[in-house]
Structure 1
Amino acid sequence: MSFLTRAMTGSVLYMTNNCYCKLTQNCAQVKFHRKNFSKTFIENEWWCSARFMCSGAPEPTNKTGSYVVYDKLIAQRRAEAQRSIVIQVLSYNSCADVYTYCSQFGSINKIFHYSINSGGEKQNLVLIEFEEKQHVDAIMSSSTHVNYEQAIPTNTSLLWFRNLVHSKTKVKNVPPEQIKLTKNSIKTADSGEITKKLLCSESISDQILTLYNTIKLNDAGTRLRFHTAYQIEHCFSNLFPNIAVLPFGSSVNGFGKQGCDLDLCLVLDENSMEKPTSRLVFQTKSISLYDRQQVKRLMEVLAQTINLFLPGVSNVKKILEARVPIIKFDHSLCGIQCDLAVSNMTAYYMSELLYIFGETDPRVRPLTFVIRKWADSLHLINKTSPGPWISNFSLTLMVIFFLQQRNILPSINALKSKACKDDIRVADTYVDCTFLRNIEQIPKSTNTDSLEELLVDFFTYYTKFDFNTNAISLRIGKPIKKSERTPLYICNPLETNLNVSKNVSSEQLDRIMMSMQNALYHLEFHSNERNDQWGLIGLFLMNQTNFIENTRKKKLLNFKELFEKDNDVLTTS
């Protein structure tokens, strides 16, 4: 069996090598990206310097309140993933034993307990971050395989903790009170918990902040997503030493909630810059990312490899006919659903742009969360299948565009006008992704509206918006005329010729408009009624199809009753 395993491994590596040994990384289009990404990771030593690795990565959320540049944030999170391991344990009570055992290999920065349901069974796991990468290397060297006749002997930082009855290793126990362990660190709050917290809030603005802080993706959830990315990175690192698997989307831009999907972008050579003084050149094969058949063949091999060899990966599906081909899979040991694309750098920079907008003003993300929660509660969005519904991404762009009208956020053109040489980015098919990266250079907004006021104004603005003739443009920051006849036109912020809401039907837009009118009515006439449905609670419980209609019917005269009363008067007289 071991011979068969080695044969399978060799076969897949042979297929991988024949399918791609040199990815051109979108040729000249992303040379700017390579230069800046390399500069971020190498010159500033955020990624691999001994000083950084020994001191431990600082928390990405800067405690002084100063802005953390996106590339630095990503670098910090990737460094954390390299210093981390995931261990499956019997129960939560095993965590102290795991901590004690692992402490002999190096100092532990943080430890998180979490549980997931896999196949109807509850599994307990811990995520441990060490101070240095060499501590993880020591753990890996000490770990072992079992059942060699059946196991594919891959070495990953996904482990399980077994109990040895006759262990000769003497380890000094660490008192439980000294272990700063976070229990159930990725637990998602249910509707009952959320409602209880909202009822205890002082105002609608307080409710919005409470909702945001309750359901947003936390530190442990983010760490698990970067650890999942690192697993794929590590899988192909022997063939591609400079490979990078970069999370993008809501997992990293600050708009993600607990349990959100993980979007991944695979770049086979993040530092692919030619060395002009070297006389030795690698022998490679070639691939063109503009040849769809070659890309599909590449992704076939990627899907087969991670499905065969990566622990925890299951339910692998290839969606290769989409505009951007992806591989969907579940990671059962991290409890995450993943979408993997190849060199989709435009989406990566889109995440950076949303991150910048979210960091510019502290009201952006809470307001976006409550709008998306409202739409989800009224079934205006559908996460399970494509169709005529509006997406969370489109709703996020609508919130940002509204805040541009209130002079809280700048237009993308304004960000581009302030960009310097180091901000230049060009990705994929010549998509201009140049905009100011350091928001400390953006003047602070003088708008002081509360979150409640902004929520009301959001619904007011869009109930009056002329969707028949106008499109939403974040690049200009103002409504523009539609270039095509679609019910809802939201310009892609980076690929401006694309409409991100092209799928939304006229029926669904009508539902959205009616729901906004219902929401506006509720907030204006019922927001101060302190009962079990006040504020956001009632907003999320509204029936979008009959709320206003029923209210109007109560105000209409019942002519049948009037005639009956008249008849009674006539008969009695």
Structure 2
Amino acid sequence: MSVFLTCRLKNSIGRKKFFNFSSDIVRQLSQQVKQNESFVPFMDVIKFRREEARRSILVQVQSAQSFKELHSYCNSVGNVRQMLHYTVGVEPLNFIVVEFASEKDVTNVLERSSYLEDSQVVPVQSQFLWFRASNRKLPKLKQSKSAILSIENGNQCVTPSEIVNLLSKCDSVSEQMNVLYNSTKLNDLGTRLRFLTARQVENAVRGMFPKAKAYPFGSSVNGYGKMGCDLDLVLRLCDDKVKNDARLMFHCKGLVGSERTASQRNMEAIGDLLQLFLPGCSQVRRILQARVPIIKYYQQLTDVECDLSMANMSGVHMSDFLYIMGSLDARIRPLVFTIRKWASEIGLTNSSPGRWITNFSLTLLVLAFLQKPINSKPILPSLNTLVKLAEPKDSYMTEDGINCTFLRDITKLKTPTENKESLETLLVEFFEFYSQFDFASKALCLNESVAITKPEHCALYIVNPLERGLNVSKNVSMEELDRFRVEARNAAWILESQENKNENWGILSIFENKRKASSVVNFAFANKHGRLVEVSTLFEENTDKPVEYKNASVKKQVENIKNDTKNKLKELQKTNR
């Protein structure tokens, strides 16, 4: 796979950009192989990334070439492990993430750092710094000969045209899906920047709350995040367990008003902290009346959109569950990425909240589908199976009483799946399954691996795996659900009816179906397999190749519709005369 990606990318991306991008993918693929050989539990990954952030600083520099002088300075204070470069903005600002060998090295660097003597500047100290140019007082440093820039322009996303170029040169639909996944997923630098962003918030409140922790959750850490994805954060002011044997206890203030009112006031104070004091935090918006109050803001220095909450840890445990499910089989994440891309391209999902289906709901739809017997063999276990196999160390209960207990180490599952279907087959089966699913009376439940009767009336009901009383897709309207079913039917038909490769073949053909969707919906009939056929194709008599039908009943149905329609057209013509 890595050899293929190198060959394909060389034709579509400039030489320097190609080297950085392809080498990054090759590195990620090799890391992925290692991870598959030795599974790392989710909380261990979080712990490793948090420690990595504590050993790192983020430095704004004049250009990527500043890394040699920066390396010389940082190495005189501590032991530099690696340096990663990226840019932000149209007129790019340059930044370098410097990772040290130990957290003590970062402490030494920060103790030697300063800020401008300016009454208009808030003197905040953090791991976000800028590298001053040399002058008479600051002589130029020697450029380190041992300095190596591990990544240059590491946060650069693949453009839509480059993705099309990559996918059009693949040999199969399954290969297209793997390439799409590996070329768009969140890379190592993107993950580092998100944990550094979390670290900034954590450090900002640690003067008063020394045990505070900011946990990333959602797509940034669950394995389904793509380049440029938002960062979801939950801030915990004290995440340590209560010491029941302690004799000395801290004096604390009681809550003023209800718990929700106190949470809203705390969030408002955190919003002020972000807006007034923390460098890079801009566009701060307080959404305090939501079910879970959040603060949305943009971190300019890491180029990350953030959603900060102070809710319970259920979001982190949900991310753990999704991470586990994605790690059970190498086909799952490419399938999720492809379906999310399809939904985005044809307008089923939207970046703004509303009545449309979300990426989270789509992911759960994919996982629920993979729990069903596909050719008699399911790929994923139910959540209840993981609960039954849980060990005492896997037991988690949130302060709201949400039971988040399930097996965290998937190496302890008895046997892997015997299902060996290709990604292409799974994609078509997904579309066919949901184009015929009884959404009117059934709800999807990942806990049981079976469809259950709807607990309440709504268009789409997907049971929240951890908070079983909640419907994660309650926002979806009936019109949007109907659109989803029709588009799924269309996509299945398009993929199965392709015979020859053209410019936009395979998954590219279902991505470009946006403009044709409305006409297909209005002028189509469904065969017994639930797939849509455009009526206009039934009357194409002067084609080079006749239409082929899979069985006689479908052919007879088509011929009857053709004859009936022709007779009606003749009657209309006579009436008009």
Please, what TM-score do these two structures have when normalized by structure 1?
A: 0.84
- Is residue 2:393 matched to residue 1:422? yes
Cα 1:104–1:169 shift into 2, 3 Å: farther
- Is residue 2:253 matched to residue 1:285? yes
- Which residues of structure 2 form unaligned runs of 5+? 1-30, 525-533, 540-561
Q: Post-superposition shift, 1:272? A: 3.4
- Is residue 2:403 matched to residue 1:435? no
Which residue does 2:105 correspond to in 1? 135
Matches within 5 A, 1:517-532: 517-526=489-498, 528-532=499-503
Coordinate RMSD, CA, aligned? 2.2
Matches within 5 A, 1:155-234: 155-167=125-137, 171-175=141-145, 178-234=147-203
Alpha-carbon deviations, 1:209-266, whole Å to 9, x = none?
A: 0000011000000000000000011111111111100000000010100000000011
Q: Post-superposition shift, 1:62? A: 4.7
Alpha-carbon deviations, 1:502-561, whole Å to 9, x = none?
A: 1111111111011001100111001x4211111011110013222463722221557499
166-175 vs 439-448, greater mean Cα deviation: 166-175
Which residue identity lines up with residue 539 of structure 1 in the other structure?
Answer: I
Q: Post-superposition shift, 1:320? A: 0.7
- Is residue 2:303 matched to residue 1:320? no
Which residue identity lines up with residue 343 of structure 1 in the other structure?
Answer: A
The alignment partner of 2:208 has SS state of coil
C-alpha distance in 2 between matches for 1:168 and 1:517: 67
User: Residues 289 and 295 of structure 1 are in contact (CA less than 8 Å); yes or no, is this contact kept in structure 2?
Assistant: no
User: Residues 61 and 68 of structure 1 are in contact (CA less than 8 Å); yes or no, is this contact kept in structure 2?
Assistant: no
C-alpha distance in 1 between matches for 2:257 and 2:504: 53
Cα 1:290–1:438 shift into 2, 3 Å: farther
User: Residues 67 and 149 of structure 2 are in contact (CA less than 8 Å); yes or no, is this contact kept in structure 1?
Assistant: no
Which residue does 1:56 correspond to in 2? none
Which residue identity lines up with residue 207 of structure 2 in the other structure?
Answer: N
Alpha-carbon deviations, 1:327-351, whole Å to 9, x = none?
A: 1111000000100110331111111
Which residue does 2:63 correspond to in 1? 91
The alignment partner of 2:116 has SS state of coil
- 1:125 pairs, out of 88, 95, 98, with 95
Alpha-carbon deviations, 1:404-459, whole Å to 9, x = none?
A: 00311110111101111111111142111111111011120000011111001101
- 1:237 pairs, out of 206, 210, 225, with 206
C-alpha distance in 1 between matches for 2:123 and 2:418: 60
**What percentage of residue pairs aligned between the two structures are identical?**
40
Alpha-carbon deviations, 1:308-327, whole Å to 9, x = none?
A: 11100011111111111101
Which residue identity lines up with residue 416 of structure 1 in the other structure?
Answer: V
Q: Post-superposition shift, 1:107? A: 2.1
- Is residue 2:507 matched to residue 1:536? yes
User: Residues 328 and 410 of structure 2 are in contact (CA less than 8 Å); yes or no, is this contact kept in structure 1?
Assistant: yes
C-alpha distance in 2 between matches for 1:288 and 1:374: 48
User: Residues 104 and 171 of structure 1 are in contact (CA less than 8 Å); yes or no, is this contact kept in structure 2?
Assistant: no
C-alpha distance in 2 between matches for 1:369 and 1:274: 44
Matches within 5 A, 1:150-549: 150-167=120-137, 171-175=141-145, 178-274=147-243, 276=245, 278-287=246-255, 291-384=259-352, 386-406=353-373, 407-442=378-413, 443-526=415-498, 528-543=499-514, 544-547=517-520, 549=523
- Is residue 2:537 matched to residue 1:554? yes
Which residue identity lines up with residue 413 of structure 1 in the other structure?
Answer: N
Which residue does 1:30 correspond to in 2? none
Q: Post-superposition shift, 1:161? A: 1.1
Cα 1:168–1:161 shift into 2, 3 Å: closer
Which residue identity lines up with residue 107 of structure 1 in the other structure?
Answer: N
Which residue identity lines up with residue 128 of structure 1 in the other structure?
Answer: V
If asked which structure has higher relative contact order (CA below 8 Å, sep 6+), I would say: 1
Q: Which runs of 4+ in 1 moved over 6 A?
A: none
Which residue does 2:543 correspond to in 1? none
Cα 1:87–1:168 shift into 2, 3 Å: closer
C-alpha distance in 1 between matches for 2:502 and 2:140: 60
User: Residues 460 and 474 of structure 2 are in contact (CA less than 8 Å); yes or no, is this contact kept in structure 1?
Assistant: yes
- Which residues of structure 1 form unaligned runs of 5+? 1-58, 568-573
User: Residues 426 and 432 of structure 1 are in contact (CA less than 8 Å); yes or no, is this contact kept in structure 2?
Assistant: yes
Which residue does 2:43 correspond to in 1? 71
147-156 vs 516-525, greater mean Cα deviation: 147-156
Equivalent pairs, count: 503
